[in-house]
Structure 1
Amino acid sequence: MRSYTIAQDADGIWWGYQVEPNLSHKSWYENEVGNSVCLGKEPLISYWKETLKRLK
C-alpha cells in the first residue's frame, strides 16, 4: 500500500508528495525521487512547519 505526505508552505499553498519532503526556510521541497502536486491554497497558518502529515 502506497502512502503520501501533505504539507502547507509558508505562503499557504498545500502540496502532496510521493516521498516525504525536505524543509527549507519558507517551504517544503521534494526529494530527488518522487513527484509533488499542488493541492490548493488556504489562508496561511503560523505553524505551517507542523502541517507535514503522512496519509495512507
Structure 2
Amino acid sequence: MREIECLGWAAAGKSSFETAAILRISAHTVNGYMKSAMRKMDVVNRMQAVAKACRLGVI
C-alpha cells in the first residue's frame, strides 16, 4: 500500500523529501518503498516505475 502511495506522489512530481513530509515518514523510507516497487515491476528508475504503474492501472 505504501509503495502505491509513494508511486502516486512521484507521479504528481513530488520528491522523496516532499513525499516523506506528506506521509509523515522519512525520506529514506520513501526511497525504500520506491526501490521495492521498482524491483517488483522490473524497472530501473522512478520515471519508468511511474509509467509502468500508470499502464498497469496501479495508480
Q: Which TM bucket (shorter chain)?
A: under 0.3
Tell me the TM-score normalised to structure 1 length. 0.27
Q: For CA contacts below 8 A with separation 6 or more, give which structure has more relative contact order.
A: 1
- Which structure has the highest strand share of the two? 1
Tell me the TM-score normalised to structure 2 length. 0.27
- Which structure has the highest helix share of the two? 2
